[in-house]
């Protein structure tokens, strides 16, 4: 027996019997109605698969019945075939307008009727299958979106905004999908200044955003520990080179800004030109890509060479991914770099917001054209952020007393090419009360370690750095002595006692050198600009400073 159920509605008893008998012989379950109203009621009860309607019937005619049945069917496909004596074109057209899917004029041909019913039965089956597949796809898509939103929360916690809220930074991030293939990171250095990173991974969405997580982890983790930008880029490149599949990489531009020294260095690997823009002048320097993107090479071939230039409060950096350059309007014309440079120049001359003007210019250019790529850009002013202190990590409300001692011993091989300061600073940054003193502590340790290595272990004289020529000679001599170094050591001992509101930090640095006449140094008060072991600086930063032995051991104390 055929499973396709058919509803017949005709006010002619004879026509109903003929159709009913014919269809039953073919194995179809059949339901009959005498008019349109009865057809609607039966449809509600049995929900048939195909409906055969006469057009002209009492109470409710076939046209109104077709409209009602289609409404009741909703998204379900219920074929309606009008079996009518009407032959004029307008009437037959109306059969289709009200929801009919086909018509058959009386007297009908039984073979044609059978063929039409079988055809619509196949269509009904295919429609049902397609609806099931559509529902499965919709369900899968909804689940995928839920998973992506959850993953986005985790991603945002890892690839957090750092200090992008600083007063000297303005930025725009317009992802093409839930996940952004572009990544913008900013972090304060422990000795002051900022690191900025703007990257664009191959592709869009989640596959592109996956690579942003290790980049963020390395960038923030190494910056807060005091690593140089070059070392951070090396580590990022090494990680991406090992984990990304062939053909996937990260175009990036990174900056190291020193607000105190009014100096900046930039590395560009594969992104559009960055710009140095000066107030009232416009673009004064172009920062073109001179390196391959991150992740394409191993570190033996990777270059960290940077462009370096003065960078003061009247200047700003502007970086952008290629999404802004390649943005298209309705005519498929690209926004282009020339239009971008024009907006940059006009904005600084008129002293208007660069980010706001670019957004407005993009909107006017693209109109209603759909976005085809992630669009990200950032402006960083050379002015020291006025909320710098607020950007530092704040201490936890749950402060517990701490007391510990850590000792490090660095032998000759480590002294030759290893920078221990980031690792030494890290345990101190786990102490809530010391986080706001990160810059101060890093400066103190840098000075103590440099003195122990340069003057203690290597025996270099401070006087050799008294002018520019001697300064160069000093570092050439340092490099030479490091290469020949065979037996030496520097010991660093850190003792901490931290309580609810107070604490003491003692740092002892001892080298294996011959020491120096520190008493004479204090008495003479030698010039501290380039030499003198930074005694005046250490005195200013520390509560106590004490040299011991032959001058090859120094202990400093910090109280809070």
End-to-end CA distance of the chain: 92
What SS3 class is residue 172?
Answer: strand
Q: Are 9 and 54 in contact (CB under 8 A)?
A: yes
* In the chain, domain spans: 6-130, 159-390, 393-559
Superfamily, domain 6-130: Response regulator (3.40.50.2300)
Task: Residue 180: name the closest of 153, 210, 158 by CA.
Answer: 210
Assign residue 369 a region (left: φ > 0; alpha: ψ between -120 and 50; beta: otherwise): beta
Q: pLDDT tens track of the chain, all 560 residues?
A: 678 899 999 999 999 999 999 999 889 999 999 999 999 999 999 999 999 999 999 999 999 999 999 999 998 999 999 998 888 889 899 999 999 999 888 888 888 988 999 999 999 899 989 988 988 998 888 887 777 677 667 666 666 667 888 999 999 887 655 566 788 999 998 877 899 999 998 876 666 667 788 898 899 988 988 888 999 999 999 999 998 888 889 999 999 999 888 999 999 999 999 999 999 899 999 999 999 999 999 999 999 999 999 999 999 999 999 989 998 888 889 999 999 999 999 998 777 889 999 999 998 998 877 766 788 999 999 999 875 544 444 434 445 678 899 999 999 999 987 888 888 887 887 787 887 787 788 889 988 998 999 989 998 886 544 566 777 788 888 889 999 998 999 999 999 998 878 899 999 999 999 888 777 665 554 444 435 567 778 888 999 999 998 889 999 999 98
Task: Residue 347: name the closest of 363, 366, 360 by CA.
Answer: 360
Collect all residues with Cβ–Cβ distance below 8 Å to 95 and sequence separation of at least 6.
55, 62, 63, 66, 82, 84, 86, 103
Dist CA 182 CA 221 (whole Å):
20
Task: Residue 168: name the closest of 308, 315, 281, 276 by CA.
Answer: 315
Domain over 159-390 is classified CATH 3.60.40.10: yes
Task: Residue 542: name the closest of 504, 509, 492 by CA.
Answer: 504
Dist CA 389 CA 383 (whole Å):
15
The CB-based long-range contact list for 287-293 (8 Å cut-off, 24+ gap) reads: 287/253, 287/317, 289/251, 289/253, 291/267, 293/249, 293/250, 293/251, 293/252, 293/269
Q: How do the residues of the chain divide into helix, strand and coil, expressed in percent and rounded to 5? A: 40, 25, 35
What SS3 class is residue 149?
Answer: helix
Tokens 């020291």: give the residue: 384
Determine the topology of domain 393-559 in CATH.
Answer: Heat Shock Protein 90 (3.30.565)
């Amino acid at each position: 027996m055929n499973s396709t159920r058919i509803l017949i509605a005709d006010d002619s008893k004879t026509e109903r019997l003929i159709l009913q008998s014919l269809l039953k012989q073919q194995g179809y379950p059949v339901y009959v109605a005498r008019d349109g109203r009865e057809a609607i009621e039966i449809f509600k009860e049995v929900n048939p698969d195909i409906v055969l309607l006469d057009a002209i019937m009492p109470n409710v005619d076939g046209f109104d019945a077709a409209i009602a049945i289609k409404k009741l069917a909703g998204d379900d496909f219920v074929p309606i075939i009008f079996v009518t004596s009407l032959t004029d074109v307008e009437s037959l057209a109306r059969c289709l307008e009200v929801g009919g899917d086909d018509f058959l004029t009386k007297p009908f041909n039984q073979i044609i009727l059978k063929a039409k019913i079988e055809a619509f039965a196949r269509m009904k089956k295919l429609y049902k299958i397609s609806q099931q597949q559509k529902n499965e796809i919709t369900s899968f898509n909804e689940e995928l979106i839920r998973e992506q939103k959850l993953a986005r929360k985790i991603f945002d916690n890892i690839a957090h905004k750092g200090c992008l809220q600083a007063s000297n930074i303005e930025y725009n991030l317009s992802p093409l999908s839930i996940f952004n293939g572009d990544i913008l990171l900013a972090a304060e250095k422990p000795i002051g200044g900022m690191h900025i990173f703007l990257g664009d991974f191959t592709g869009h969405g989640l596959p592109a955003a996956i690579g942003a997580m290790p980049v963020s982890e390395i960038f923030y983790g190494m910056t807060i520990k005091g690593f140089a930008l070059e070392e951070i880029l090396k580590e990022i490149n090494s990680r991406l080179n090992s984990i990304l599949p062939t053909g996937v990489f990260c175009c990036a531009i990174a900056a190291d800004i020193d607000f105190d020294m009014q100096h900046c260095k930039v590395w560009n690997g594969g992104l559009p030109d960055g710009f140095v823009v000066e107030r009232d002048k416009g673009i004064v320097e172009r920062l073109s890509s001179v390196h391959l993107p991150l992740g394409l090479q191993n570190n033996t071939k990777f270059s960290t060479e940077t462009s370096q230039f003065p960078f003061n409060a009247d200047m700003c950096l502007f970086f952008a991914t290629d999404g802004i350059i390649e943005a298209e309007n309705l005519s498929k014309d690209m926004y282009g770099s020339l239009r971008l440079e024009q907006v940059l120049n006009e904005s600084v001359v008129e002293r208007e917001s660069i980010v706001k003007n670019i957004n407005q210019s993009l909107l006017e250019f693209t109109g209603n054209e759909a976005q085809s790529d992630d669009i990200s850009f950032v402006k960083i002013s050379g002015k020291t952020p006025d909320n710098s202190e607020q950007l530092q990590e704040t201490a936890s409300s749950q402060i517990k007393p701490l007391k510990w001692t850590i000792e490090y011993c660095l032998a000759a091989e480590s002294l030759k090419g290893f920078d221990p300061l980031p690792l030494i600073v890290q345990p101190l940054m786990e102490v809530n009360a010391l986080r706001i003193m990160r810059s101060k502590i890093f400066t103190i340790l840098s000075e103590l370690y440099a003195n122990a290595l340069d003057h203690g272990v290597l025996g270099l004289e401070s006087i050799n750095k008294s002018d520019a020529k001697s300064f160069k000679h000093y570092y050439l001599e340092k490099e030479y002595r490091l290469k020949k170094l065979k037996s030496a050591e520097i010991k660093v001992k850190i003792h901490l006692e931290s309580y609810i509101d107070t604490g003491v930090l003692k740092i002892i640095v001892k080298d294996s050198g011959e020491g120096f006449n520190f008493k004479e140094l204090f008495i003479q008060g030698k010039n501290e600009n380039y030499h003198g072991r930074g005694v005046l600086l250490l005195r200013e930063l520390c509560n106590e400073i004490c040299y011991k032995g032959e001058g090859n051991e120094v202990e400093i104390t910090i109280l809070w």
